[in-house]
């Protein structure tokens, strides 16, 4: 069915398969060439992914980020009214790129099967229940969310082209175990269902029972599952987006604050975690991932959060926490090391280097940063195999753009020493460091084989054939480090 006054967004109860779009739809995509660089035939070759509850803050962020990465996206909503919410969160030009927007009830297994048909993976945001927080989260809501989780996994098993599901749970599914209150909360921890019922922690109960049901069903039906367990989602660009939905999460918030388990997560970064986890499934990623980027450990931080959420006293009132004047922080008792290992190499390197530059200027420390490519150690063939995977996330894009490079680890060490010695002659700043750019498919396959990561770079990449003698021009420059090495060896001025 075509929505009145909105020609390009189609809401249907039974979506067409990705390969069976009508001629009108095909022309519609072709007519958008100014905003979309690929032809329709190229689009059909992309992976078709389905995102549930695209009208929610997390769902809409997922949709936008997946589209920006070139995926072919189908979105489900609960009813046609949700479509208006979705249009407020997703721009017109992004809506135009969707394969379809589908009404699929989470309690209706058949409609979910139709929605998931032909998809390479399902992103179930688990946020279909009361997305605006108006009615509150009740024990009945927890039951409905658990039943929906079972339906999503079963529909994925029945209808999806590839049986993969990235399932949004919550940090709440791990933190409420009063018998082990002092242990560090990680992916092995589960909230105690009886404790949640006794204390009417309905959101925690619902997330716990829903995620457990998803794991049971996935094992039964052989669906490959990853669960992402984010903390309290925050949307700085939409300040009111999570104010109402935060109340169920923050039930018991004073206890969370006292125990060092009150955490939050930027919603955009949470969406990126989901995508990184999906892309890493080809290389063995699986299981649970706790996801947060901030732990509230001080009373003043709690008050700041209360003010932002317009919930004065919810966390600070009567809680046995340290005073604002106290410099000590409550020790954090939650760990996100597993998701950090999976995802954040590029972000970590960028933010760490920027922080180093800021601090060096502040404290007048003379600084040089060396930025090596993928480090290789031929004399120790297994030394970098495991550590290469985070670096090579997005490796196919690097290969296509001719920015995939490597650096012998011994020569990288020499660059560090030359840089130090050249500081007496004016050296400073950043130095990109690589000795080889991978510019051909056969070179990429050779690197894959050496790293024992078959298909990581070559699988599906739009690169030149092995028989083609031409190379993609290198788009990275190491002339500055070359000059550094020369100047250091000659004791010349290295000011550049």
Q: What six digits make up the tokens of 321?
A: 């926490």
- Find residue 294's DSSP bridge partners: 264
SS3 state of residue 446: helix
The reported pLDDT for the residue numbered 319 is 47
Residue located via tokens 């050296």: 427
> CB 112: neighbour CB atoms within 10 A?
28
Mean pLDDT of the chain: 80
More confident residue, 393 or 381: 393
Residue 128's pLDDT band, with cuts at 50, 70 and 90, is: low
- Cβ proximity of 357 and 369 under 8 Å: yes
Query: What's the whole-number mean pLDDT along residues 37-54?
Result: 62
pLDDT in tens, 436-451: 999 998 888 888 888 8
pLDDT score of 7 more than 50:
no
The DSSP line for 470-486 is --PPP----HHHHHHHH
Write out the catalytic residue numbers: 207
Query: What's the whole-number mean pLDDT along residues 2-12?
Result: 37
Where do the domains of the chain lie, and which CATH numbers do they carry? Answer: 11-343 (3.40.50.720), 345-490 (3.40.50.720)
> CB 473: neighbour CB atoms within 10 A?
8
* pTM over cut 0.75: no
pLDDT in tens, 193-240: 999 999 999 999 999 999 999 999 999 999 999 999 999 999 876 656
Task: Give the burial string for 245-281 (b: 16+ CB within 10 Å, else e).
Answer: bbbbbbbbbbbbbebbbbbbbbbbbbbbbbbbbbebb
- Cβ proximity of 315 and 263 under 8 Å: no
The reported pLDDT for the residue numbered 65 is 92
- Cβ proximity of 238 and 57 under 8 Å: yes
**CA-wise closest residue to 282 among 392, 374, 384:** 392
């Amino acid at each position: 069915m075509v929505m009145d006054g909105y020609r390009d967004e189609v809401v249907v109860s039974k979506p067409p398969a990705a390969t069976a779009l009508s001629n009108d739809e095909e022309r519609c995509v072709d007519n958008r060439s100014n905003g979309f660089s690929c032809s329709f035939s190229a689009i059909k070759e992309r992976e078709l992914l389905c995102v549930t509850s695209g009208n929610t803050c997390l769902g809409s962020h997922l949709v936008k980020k997946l589209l920006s990465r070139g995926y072919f996206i189908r979105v489900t909503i609960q009813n046609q009214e949700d479509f208006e919410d979705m249009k407020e969160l997703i721009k017109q030009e992004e809506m135009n790129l969707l394969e379809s927007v589908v009404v699929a009830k989470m309690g209706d297994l058949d409609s979910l099967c139709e929605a998931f048909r032909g998809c390479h993976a399902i992103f179930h945001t688990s946020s279909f229940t009361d997305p605006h927080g108006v009615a509150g989260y009740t024990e009945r809501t927890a039951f409905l969310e658990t039943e929906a989780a079972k339906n999503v996994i079963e529909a994925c098993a029945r209808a999806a082209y590839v049986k993969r599901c990235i399932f949004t749970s919550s940090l709440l599914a791990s933190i409420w175990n009063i018998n082990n209150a002092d242990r560090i909360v990680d992916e092995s921890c589960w909230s105690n269902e009886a404790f949640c019922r006794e204390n009417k922690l309905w959101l925690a109960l619902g997330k716990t029972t829903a995620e457990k049901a998803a794991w049971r069903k996935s094992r039964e039906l052989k669906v490959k599952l990853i669960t992402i367990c984010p903390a309290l989602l925050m949307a700085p660009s939409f300040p009111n987006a999570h104010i109402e939905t935060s109340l169920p999460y923050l039930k018991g918030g004073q206890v969370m604050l006292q125990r060092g388990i009150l955490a939050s997560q930027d919603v955009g970064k949470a969406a990126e975690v989901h995508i990184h986890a999906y892309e890493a499934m080809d290389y063995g990623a699986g299981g649970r991932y706790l996801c947060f980027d901030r732990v509230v450990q001080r009373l003043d931080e709690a008050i700041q959060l209360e003010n932002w959420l317009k919930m004065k006293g919810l966390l600070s009132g009567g809680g046995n926490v340290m005073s604002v004047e106290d410099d000590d922080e409550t020790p954090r008792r939650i760990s996100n090391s597993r998701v950090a290992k999976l995802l954040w190499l590029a972000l970590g390197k960028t933010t760490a280097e920027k922080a180093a530059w800021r601090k060096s200027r502040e404290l007048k420390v003379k600084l040089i940063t060396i930025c090596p490519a993928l480090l290789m150690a031929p004399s120790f063939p297994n030394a970098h195999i495991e550590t290469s995977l985070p670096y090579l996330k997005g490796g196919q894009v690097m290969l296509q753009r001719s920015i995939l490079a490597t650096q012998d680890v011994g020569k990288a060490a020499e660059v560090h020493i030359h840089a130090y010695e050249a500081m007496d002659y004016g050296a400073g700043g950043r130095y990109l460091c690589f000795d080889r750019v991978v510019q051909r498919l056969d070179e990429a396959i050779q690197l894959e084989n050496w790293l024992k990561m078959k298909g990581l770079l070559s699988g599906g990449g739009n690169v030149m054939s092995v028989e083609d003698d031409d190379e993609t021009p290198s788009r990275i420059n190491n002339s500055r480090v070359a000059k550094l090495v020369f100047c250091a060896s000659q004791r010349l001025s290295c000011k550049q």
